[in-house]
Structure 1
Amino acid sequence: MRVDCHQHIWPPALVTALRERDVMPYLRDWTLYLPGENPYQVDPAAHDVERRRAAEHADRVLVSLSSPLGIEHAADGADLIDIWHASALALPDPFRVWAAAPVAAPDGPALARVLREDRIAGLQLPATALDSPDAIGHVAPLLEVLERSGKPLLVHPGPAPAEPGGLPDWWPALVPYVAQMHRSWMSWHVAGRRRHPGLRIAFVALAGLAPLHHERLAARGGPAFDRDPNVFYETSSYRTDAIAALARVVGPAAVVHGSDRPYAEPLDPVAFHEAYFTANPARLLRQP
């Protein structure tokens, strides 16, 4: 079974909810407004379920809430997350769902109820909720429930901070998103695995290439880096050079394919290691 571990699609109910908001994040028609990014013109076809199904070559596609929206951090995020779960779980095959959870006041029992759904692959959290050892401790009620469920964690870039104007549209994806992934990986390396020894975890976008800094980490007195069979690295937006460099450090068995569609396209299975699409995602997800 070929798996795409990371895509986004906004079901109609979520689009409606975003259009009804008067504080960010919100949609006006198909223009998205976020505090830390330029207004973004959303392509409606990118969220057309039947078009997306027709374009898929993967046997299973895992879709998640767009964490850069900041919904997990929002005061009213729980309501939007409920809408996400209800509408995403109704998507047809080949789609499966990463759960979401509010992070300001983590609710373990609420997450446990969602994780019982067969179509829920695991939990996605924004990297901004895991950006220090203390932050990992704060969301421990969620991670403990997730660990007991046997399902994995996906770490995704969170909202970009508001900055002075004039930055190009690509800036958030290349600067704050990458830095967030780097911080969350370092925090997990320092504190997360010790707290949650059995949890499988996948970092989007190759963890911001954080493992490539293992030599500098050692030179500056940081903890030793060892390959962890329960840590995975998802490929979205990266291609040959970055994937090959990371695989040399973490091992090819740790790399899982994810496209981040509609913001990037899937890798070509012919050009990359077949295990990235099949065996490695199966170990992350513990598929039968």
Structure 2
Amino acid sequence: MTRFDCHQHLWPAPLVAALRDRDSYPYLREWTLFLPGENPYRVDPASHDPVRRGRRETGRVLLSLSSPLGIEHLPGTDGAALIDVWHESALRLPDPFHLWAAASVTSPDPDSLARVLRADRVAGLQLPATALGDPASIERLSPLLRELERADKPLLVHPGPAAVEQGDLPDWWPAVVPYVAQMHRSWAAWHVAGRKTHANLRVAFVALAGLAPLHHERMAARGGEFGTPDPNVFYETSSYGPDAIEALAAVVGPGAVVHGSDRPYAEPLDPARFPDEFFHVNPERLLGG
């Protein structure tokens, strides 16, 4: 059986070059990344070497464009050009790397997405949680979601750009505070509105959806409904360990959990410590196998 890591990042050389050519966010200066809502980040070049990375893997790896870069939110051709670079260069990467497609959320182009989704190495579409934070946003992006349904491929919801905040915040702040809040919000929006309009779409929320399902008791106390967990909603594990994963699985069921690492920012789970289905069966179901 194929072992899956449903969520990693690797920037192909053409994307690195394109980010270095930029004079506005997001941009690279040599190997230092600059984003408006985060401290400058020193990138390890080895983390984006596909040969070195490939030697570390034992199964299929699904790569995604780093949504906190904000590329999907860039206006007009600015974002579209970088998304094209991502698709063209990531599709040329060797095994074990497959990819999640990306799409502009400022100027959605379902026809372009449909063409990209035809590639066998494209697992589905990743969208930033910052573009799916309320029912109206889900409705606005429905043309993209309908293309996914036609292709019978899933949606991956990933944290988007961190907002600019005041004060000297630690480097871990964006990943632990705004990213988690974004995931929680996008899960709630999907719970309220997404399934009503996209009945058959399979959806995976990165980082256990910010642990949103664990708030089901508070939701019920305030007049909401959780009910039976949605069998087409999945929860990816990156940056979490046994405490959070076991608590979430107790609410949504172990069949909803899929392994993802967020490498190079975190490491994969130890298969010896978690149910085998997280690595094989559940990802196959997410991907339509």
TM-score category of the 2 structures, normalised to the smaller one? over 0.9
- The alpha carbon displacement at 1:164 in A equals 1.4
Aligned to 1:15: 16
Deviations 1:226-268 (Å, cap 9, x if unpaired)?
2111000000000000000000000000000000000000001
Supply the AA of the counterpart residue of 1:64: S
Report the TM-score, using the length of structure 1 for normalisation. Answer: 0.98
* Separation (CA, whole Å) in 2 of partners of 1:195 and 1:106: 18
Equivalent residue of 1:189, what SS?
helix
Supply the AA of the counterpart residue of 1:135: S
* Separation (CA, whole Å) in 1 of partners of 2:228 and 2:125: 25
Q: CA RMSD in A?
A: 0.6
Supply the AA of the counterpart residue of 1:255: V
CA contact 1:62–1:96 (8 Å) conserved in 2: yes
- The alpha carbon displacement at 1:148 in A equals 1.0
Within-5 A mapping of 1:188-207: 188-207=190-209
Aligned to 1:70: 70
List structure 1 segments (4+ residues) > 6 angstroms apart after TM superposition. Answer: none
Equivalent residue of 1:136, what SS?
helix
* 2:30 is the counterpart of 1:29: yes
* Separation (CA, whole Å) in 2 of partners of 1:160 and 1:138: 21
* Separation (CA, whole Å) in 2 of partners of 1:224 and 1:207: 15
- The alpha carbon displacement at 1:200 in A equals 0.1
Supply the AA of the counterpart residue of 2:48: H
* Separation (CA, whole Å) in 2 of partners of 1:266 and 1:96: 17
Aligned to 2:166: 164
Aligned to 1:45: 46
Deviations 1:45-79 (Å, cap 9, x if unpaired)?
0001111011112x200000000000000011100
Equivalent residue of 2:235, what SS?
strand
- The alpha carbon displacement at 1:223 in A equals 2.7
Aligned to 2:288: 286
* Separation (CA, whole Å) in 2 of partners of 1:223 and 1:82: 40
* 2:123 is the counterpart of 1:121: yes
Q: Give the length in aligned residue pairs.
A: 286
Aligned to 2:140: 138
- The alpha carbon displacement at 1:222 in A equals 1.3
* Separation (CA, whole Å) in 2 of partners of 1:251 and 1:204: 16
Match of 1:246 among 226, 245, 248: 248
- The alpha carbon displacement at 1:4 in A equals 0.3
Deviations 1:117-157 (Å, cap 9, x if unpaired)?
11100000000010001110110110011111100000000
Within-5 A mapping of 1:171-182: 171-182=173-184
Give 5+ residue unaligned stretches, structure 1. Answer: none
* Separation (CA, whole Å) in 1 of partners of 2:215 and 2:167: 31
Report the TM-score, using the length of structure 2 for normalisation. Answer: 0.98
Aligned to 1:92: 94
* 2:223 is the counterpart of 1:225: no
- The alpha carbon displacement at 1:106 in A equals 1.0
* Separation (CA, whole Å) in 2 of partners of 1:103 and 1:226: 31
CA contact 1:190–1:223 (8 Å) conserved in 2: no
